[in-house]
Amino acid sequence: MQHLARRWQRAGLRVGLVPTMGSLHAGHLSLVRRARQSVGKQAKVVVSLYVNPTQFGPKEDFARYPRNFARDAGLCRAAGVDVLFAPGDDQMYPADPRVPFSTYIAEEDLSRGLEGKSRPTHFRGVTTIVAKLFHLVQPTVAVFGAKDWQQAAIVKRMTRDLNFGLKIITAPIVREPDGLALSSRNQYLKGELRTQALVLWRSIQRVRAALRRSARPLLATRMKAGLKEFIERQPDARLDYVEFFEPENLAPVAKITPGTHMALAVFIGRTRLIDNSAL
């Protein structure tokens, strides 16, 4: 991959990268289209496919995370992807016991709250693997989905702080007709759990409606308490967190006003889902 990327550079070709963990869906394909729009028809678009073990906690779903390489390859081919880069663990994390893998990248500001608080080792794994992908693919542009808002913000900060010479694009969330944000983990939702999962989108709509009705800013503490009660009316739903914050620096706010951003994580049965939106 790195030799190919250098060849493209010598030829003056622009390169768009879409990092994924596979189990592709329409949301991923929208990122591919955005990458192609950004670099042009004569450029190259690379999709990376790697289920990165270092961004999963010890009790998370790494072992059962959905994997279907043949299907993903077909979707990439149909979408006009030039290269599907699917490395293995032995390439990304060399396992020589005499010389163990021991170098990680950790962003230390934006990663402290939200997902970082609930999943303490998650973003160290994300930033490390994304940096490795940037070195290997040498992209001009990399496209990330807005569903992982905090992740995109952290990658932008890493790119700036470590002088990676590329542009980061955050593409909009793609939703089902009923509002559920597309996610590879939606495959876990069977029967009634799928219906209960709509509580994430309905929570966002609930705050939007309250903000429209109110002549004053909303108190974040009061809204959080109300949302917890609203979400946990669903028999299999458990709130992990809901937060209101400034969209650029992720700083929590005490009062919710138009332009505030909202993010939440909810367990629906054993499946942990996330969503976010501008308000």
Question: In the structure encoding, which two tokens stand for residue 93, read together?
Answer: 């994390």
Say if residues 171 and 145 touch (Cβ distance below 8 Å).
Answer: yes
Q: What are phi and psi of 16, to 5 degrees?
A: -110, 135
Pick from 145, 45, 49: nearest CA to 92: 49
Whether 3 is catalytic is no
Give the span between the Cα atoms of 112 and 142, in whole angstroms: 24
Cβ-Cβ contacts under 8 Å for 66 (sequence gap 6 or more): 22, 23, 184, 185, 187
Catalytic residue among 3, 28, 122, 135: 28
- Asked whether the CA dihedral 246, 247, 251, 252 is positive or negative, the reply is positive
> Count of alpha carbons within 13 Å of 135, Cβ hemisphere only?
8
Per-residue CA distances from 92 to 63, 95, 242 (Å): 18, 9, 34
Q: What share of the chain is helix, strand, coil (3-state, %, to 5)?
A: 40, 20, 40
User: Residue 62, class by beta-carbon neighbours within 10 Å (0-12 exposed, 13-18 middle, 19+ buried)?
Assistant: middle
Q: Residues 214, 224, 118, CA angle at the centre, nearest 5°?
A: 145
Euclidean distance between CA atoms 140 and 71, whole angstroms: 27
Active site residues: 28
